[in-house]
Amino acid sequence: MYRSNGNYEAFARPMKPEGVDDKSAYIVGSGLAGLAAATFLIRDGQMKGNKIHVLEELALPGGSMDGIWNEQKGYIIRGGREMEPHFETLWDLFRSIPSLENPDASVLDEFYWLNKKDPSYSHGRVIQNQGEELPTEGQLTLTPKAVKELIDLVMTPEKDLGDKKINEVFSDDFLNSNFWLYWSTMFAFEPWASAMEMRRYLMRFCHHIDSLSNLSSLRFTKYNQYESLIQPMIKFLEDKGVQLTYNTHVNNIKVDTSNGTKVATEIDMTTDGKDSTVSLTENDLVFVTNGSITESTTYGDKTHPAPTEHELGSSWQLWENMAKQDKTFGNPDVFCKNIPDANWVISGTITLTDDEAVPYIEKISKKDPHSGSIVTSGPVSIKDSNWLYGYSISRQKHFKRQKDNELVVWVYGLFSDKPGNFVNKKITECTGDELCEEWLYHIGVPTDKIKDIAENHSNTIPAHMPYITSYFMPRKVGDRPLVVPEGSKNLAFIGNFVETERDTVFTTEYSVRTAMEAVYTLLNVDRGVPEVFGSAFDVRTLLRAIYYLDGKQKIEDIKLPFKERLVEKKVMEKIHGTYIEELLKDAHLL
């Protein structure tokens, strides 16, 4: 497997890999990574679909890419996916998946047309004081000390950040800034999250620093991610003959690690309560989704909180059983145990059944939520919320079956150890109606109307997700297995708990990238995997980032000591009339 960039490789079709007709594939998990692996096996590996077997523990596919109508509870979404133009492998995948609504278009085509017509732009990124706009909206409010800490983190080698937390490398100067408020609520970082992953994010998404307050860099699907992305993939794979088996718990995959190699030899699984094994040879490729952020999710309803008791879950148990066989298979305990109590674990789906709350939504987002246009363009964060509560309203209808009078709102709280500002409970203790009440309070609904709207004009479903931010647990090199462990002949790991260089977890791109790398490596596909977008290596992006990090100051406005000012003056004289001066002007630094 090798990486590439540019159109030459992006538009090429690889030759059929040698020996592929003698091979088959078993994919554990039907989340985005698993379905992407199946697609790449067919499209680029040219494997017959009927030789591909997807094993899923749930009764439906999609993993964390969800959005369902539950007859007993109503609409449920556990989160949303923020996407951007430089998800190189994601768009490489969806250019090949036909749209369900337009047979002459791909999923990428319809996504591209939609976001051109209805671009993302937030008119109310942060609120406080019951629906008021943040007075410093649009400003990053970073002190020189905080900027230095950012630069120091980026300059630190990844290997030197093992097990370090964000609040161990940043002071209150940084953690009290608008930059951190925007950044943490956009990406779901907690102060105790991995400094190593924070560094990756800074380098991966430095081209978004100028749009943190308006979210104009983001792209969103027409409907929820299950209907817009997963259903078209399932139709494509089923049409190709791929075998999808549900209600199947893979308990263990036995691996022969003798002779310096690794060969998966047996799958031990339980389907609909019946145990079975599958014997494997080197020609049987195995792709394992290890771990899951939505494993063990529980749900409440209007009058009951989501239960907090849960099993470890099949995906974690499988990873634990595999890790016992070889240390290169990673360390699952780092990610699924000792998660801080204050961590984000609760989200809720609010379905408004009339327009009682619409005026307050419109005041903040300055959009009619019934217009069909994307409403909040990502999260609206509530700065003075004890829960650090936030909400997002996507294009409506968010579900194809949604009624015209209904609006679906997703809410989440990043801190779970404090009582709310309106509801005097921890978020983990709240019923659906109470989650709604807290949200209505913060968007400015008069307190005498809150209980009536929550109880009689809406339906809210809480979801408890014990591992939702486990991707970000402090880690060190080796805690995540490589996509294809050294010496492996037929085994690969896929998803966000595996290791590939430079890219960032908690993204759709990471799921697809690891799937592509796994397929290309095990089948020796002769086509480059698109490399991670190199924004951190683009001097134009870096200069623009400096402009915004320094509060949109020009070079001559930045206060420097006398000696440094003299040096600056001489440098500016030297670059006058040169290409460097042009670059600085383009970045607004001159």
Q: What share of the chain has pLDDT > 70, as a percent?
A: 98
> Catalytic site residue 112?
no
Angle between the N-to-C axes of helices 144-155 and 195-204, in degrees from 0 to 180, rounded to the nearest 10: 100
Superfamily (CATH H level) for 1-109+219-336+482-528: FAD/NAD(P)-binding domain (3.50.50.60)
How many CA atoms are closer than 13 Å to the CA of 496, on its beta-carbon side?
23
**Which strand (E) or helix (H) includes residue 266?**
strand 263-271
Nearest alpha carbon to residue 20 among 292, 349, 285 = 285
Among the options 56, 82, 88, 227, which is catalytic?
A: 82
Calpha distance 82→187 (Å, rounded)? 9
Calpha distance 88→105 (Å, rounded)? 19
Calpha distance 415→433 (Å, rounded)? 19
Residue type, 57: E
User: In degrees rounded to 5, what are phi and psi of residue 536?
Assistant: -70, -10
Mean pLDDT over 123-143 rounds to 97
436 in Cβ contact with 453 (< 8 Å): yes
Calpha distance 310→17 (Å, rounded)? 44
Nearest alpha carbon to residue 443 among 226, 137, 185, 128 = 128
Q: What is the pLDDT of residues 461-492, one digit of tens each?
A: 999 999 999 999 999 999 999 999 999 999 99
Mean pLDDT of the chain: 95
> Catalytic site residue 201?
yes
The SS3 assignment for 482 reads: strand
pTM for this prediction = 0.96
Quick one: how many helices (H) and strands (E) in the chain?
A: 20, 20
| 359: pLDDT strictly greater than 70 | yes
Mean pLDDT over 306-328 rounds to 96
Calpha distance 557→548 (Å, rounded)? 13
Mean pLDDT over 518-533 rounds to 98
**pLDDT in the model for residue 554:** 84
Domain boundaries along the sequence of the chain: 1-109+219-336+482-528, 124-128+338-462, 555-589
pLDDT band at 567 (very low <50, low <70, confident <90, very high): low
Tokens of 561: 């000591």
Q: What share of the chain has pLDDT > 90, as a percent?
A: 90
Cα 319 to Cα 267, 490, 506, distances in angstroms = 13, 17, 19
User: In degrees rounded to 5, what are phi and psi of residue 253?
Assistant: -125, 115
Say which CATH topology domain 124-128+338-462 has. D-Amino Acid Oxidase; Chain A, domain 2 (3.30.9)
Q: What is the pLDDT of residues 201-246, one digit of tens each?
A: 999 999 999 999 999 999 999 999 999 999 999 999 999 999 999 9
Angle between the N-to-C axes of helices 539-549 and 579-586, in degrees from 0 to 180, rounded to the nearest 10: 50
**pLDDT in the model for residue 563:** 58
Mean pLDDT over 576-585 rounds to 84
- Whether residue 16 is preceded by a cis peptide bond, meaning omega within 30 degrees of 0, is no
How many other CB atoms sit within 10 Å of the CB of residue 451?
Answer: 14
Nearest alpha carbon to residue 512 among 43, 12, 56, 18 = 43
SS3 content of the chain, % helix, strand, coil (to 5): 35, 20, 45
477 in Cβ contact with 158 (< 8 Å): yes
The SS3 assignment for 530 reads: strand
Q: What is the pLDDT of residues 374-428, one digit of tens each?
A: 999 999 999 999 999 999 999 999 999 999 999 999 999 999 999 999 999 999 9
Among the options 26, 75, 182, 201, which is catalytic?
A: 201
